[in-house]
Amino acid sequence: MSSSKRSTIIVEHLRKQQMWDAISKGKRLDERNLDEIRPIEIELDTIKKANGSARVKLGNSEVIAGVKVETGEPFEGLENKGALILSAEILPTASPYVEPGPPDEDTIELARVVDRGIRESEMIDLERLVLVPGKTVYTIFVDCSIINADGNLFDATSFAAVSALASSKIPVFEMQDGKVIDTGNTQRPPVTTLPVSITAVRIADSVILDPTAEEEACMDARITITTNSNGDFTAIQKGSTGAFKVEQLKTAAGIARIKGENVRAKLQELIKAG
Amino acid sequence: MNQVRNLIDEKGKRTDGRTVDELRGIKITVGRIKNADGSALIEFGNNKIVVAVYGPREVHPKHMALPDRCVLRCRYHMSPFSTDTRKNPAPSRREIEISKVMRESLEPALILEDYPRSAIDVFVEVLQADGGSRCAGITAASVALADAGINMRDIVAACAAGKVDDKIVIDINDTEDKEGGADMPVAYMPHLEQVTLLQLDGVLTQDQFNECLDKAIGGCKMVYEIQRQSLIEKYFGSEMELKEEQ
């Protein structure tokens, strides 16, 4: 990913002025308003082999999330909770600048921020996914593959992970003679809330929502804010090498609640229908 | 989060006897590592963190060099003996993420354009961890950068605020982090009045978020005074004593 950053340096300087001009007039290079999110396309159950899955397109960014459920030992210190493990990978298909290999820090941050939004909102009531306290629990894997990258991978990945989890039908396991048995039945996971992540970036003095890759190349600072169904904040992450004024952060937080509610309504409708 | 006990008693005291607006004890020793270009040791509550800055120096590997500015590199690492259960010395995903946000929180304060084709390395080693180690690390790192004589726009001070027993408190300790409701680390440049780090784990309403942010920034301003004093002590300490003698 570092190579992609370097190759955009010249473009960045040329485009930055153009982008500033447009944004100062309240429009973006792709004609969107400053607070406009690109069209969101969600397809549930794309991967039949998974216990739950979703393909999300946010503009040209595209992510597939798959849920797989197994049993295993609980995490240390969380003996009476099921385990939730989220991963994200930016596939080499996603852009000319991605090279195969171990995850770089951007990818690690992406997975951890998406995970934080889901974990801290307690979206899944993990206490209801215990078979033998302290010994055997449900282990839910949510694996996210970014297949095309055009900016705002945080929100695209979060939408995909949440949709896949909320619409999943996980196996019903039971204990028989000290062994785990797959009953062959399925159940809905215990979903308590739908976390929605909204990302904004600052370019010069303007804060814009849902940046494209080109806008991210010109951004000064980024902020990702996750809200739950009550409209409360459950995870926040500031990113990139610039800073924010306090008022910009408070305004962004307010916008994330409103925009998050719109996206949540859309997710809810889809999941009900599916 | 399940709360097994009250973390704030009826007199408004926290588990370590502090009030909601009180920082833990902070001591910063500047120039602790002799070989480094700049360094600081911070004792922040029970945190003990040593930071060494090397640079501006030649970039290795060379292809990382930038033609118009300096590369800032940051490594946050926890010693195996720093935690209750031994920490595997290999860098964890958490440490990689913290290294990244730490670098991004320091960069706005540095004038990196002044050192093209070079690198500044910031090594943050947590010797003893006690909750809030990233804030303590950032605080010490910006003192170490100043000690190294790097051109800076401002100093970065960091402090967390959070929710404990439904009250907003500053400078979350280890117990409050594990058992409390929310933790929000913030880094702030006091003169430029800008936030360079903001993270949140846990649930806050909009009002609580605003209060948390304001209180964390208040904490950062207190931390800044201690940073400033520690630098004065190293660079002007003897002169001040001289003045007093005269």
* pLDDT over 60 at A23, yes or no: yes
Instruction: Tell me if A249 and B213 make a contact (CB, 8 A cut-off).
Output: yes
Specify the pLDDT at position A218.
87
Residue B25 three-state SS: coil
Instruction: Tell me if B213 and A6 make a contact (CB, 8 A cut-off).
Output: no
> Whole-angstrom Cα distance, residue A175 to residue A133?
12
Residue B91 in domain = yes
When pLDDT is cut at 50, 70 and 90, the band that residue A9 belongs to is low
Residue B5 in domain = no
Q: Quick check: B200 contacting A, CB < 8 Å?
A: yes
- In this prediction the ipTM stands at 0.80
Instruction: Check whether the bond before B56 is cis (ω within 30° of 0).
Output: yes
* pLDDT over 50 at A84, yes or no: yes
Residue B40 in domain = yes
Q: What are the pLDDT digits (tens) for A114-148?
A: 999 999 999 999 999 999 999 999 999 999 999 99
Of the partner residues B93, B96, B108, the one whose CB lies closest to the CB of residue A242: B108
Instruction: Tell me if A236 and B202 make a contact (CB, 8 A cut-off).
Output: no
What H or E segment, with its residue span, contains residue B6?
none
| HEC letters along B98-131 | HHHHHHHHHHHHECHHHCCCEEEEEEEEEEECCC
For residue A238, the number of C-alpha atoms closer than 13 Å in the C-beta half-sphere is 32
Residue B167 three-state SS: strand
Residue B4 in domain = no
Domain count, chain B: 1
**What global pTM score does this model have?**
0.87
Specify the pLDDT at position B1.
44
Helices vs strands, H then E, count in chain B:
4, 9
> Whole-angstrom Cα distance, residue B44 to residue B129?
9
Q: What are the pLDDT digits (tens) for A184-215?
A: 999 999 999 999 999 999 998 999 999 999 89
Contacts of B93 (CB under 8 A, 6+ apart): A108, A111, A112
CATH number at residue A42: 3.30.230.70
- What is the distance in angstroms between the Cα of B23 and the nearest Cα belonging to chain A? 21
* pLDDT over 90 at B12, yes or no: no
Instruction: Tell me if A244 and B194 make a contact (CB, 8 A cut-off).
Output: yes
Instruction: Tell me if B93 and A108 make a contact (CB, 8 A cut-off).
Output: yes
> Whole-angstrom Cα distance, residue A69 to residue B124?
38
| Pair A167, A45: CB distance under 8 Å | yes
Instruction: Calculate mean pLDDT across residues B74-87.
Output: 92
* pLDDT over 60 at A2, yes or no: no
Q: Domain range holding A241?
A: 2-273
CB atoms within 10 A of CB B231: 19
Instruction: Tell me if A257 and B206 make a contact (CB, 8 A cut-off).
Output: yes
Mean pLDDT of all residues belonging to chain A = 91
> Whole-angstrom Cα distance, residue B195 to residue B108?
10
When pLDDT is cut at 50, 70 and 90, the band that residue A60 belongs to is very high
Which amino acid would we find at residue B48?
A: K
Partners of residue A16 in chain B, C-beta under 8 Å: none
Domain count, chain A: 1
Residue B15 in domain = no
Instruction: Calculate mean pLDDT across residues A13-20.
Output: 81
CATH number at residue B219: 3.30.230.70
* pLDDT over 60 at B96, yes or no: yes
Q: Domain range holding B171?
A: 26-245
Residue B3 in domain = no
Q: Which of B74, B138, B206, B214 should one mutate to test binding to chain A, selecting the residue with the greatest count of A CBs within 10 A?
A: B206
- What is the distance in angstroms between the Cα of A219 and the nearest Cα belonging to chain B? 13
Chain A neighbours among B 170-199 (CB < 8 Å)?
184, 189, 192-199
Instruction: Tell me if A105 and B194 make a contact (CB, 8 A cut-off).
Output: no
Torsion sign, CA atoms A20, A23, A25, A30:
positive
- Please give the DSSP secondary-structure letter assigned to residue A54: E
CB atoms within 10 A of CB A109: 23
Instruction: Tell me if B184 and A236 make a contact (CB, 8 A cut-off).
Output: yes
* pLDDT over 50 at A4, yes or no: no
> Whole-angstrom Cα distance, residue A114 to residue A65?
12
Residue B21 in domain = no
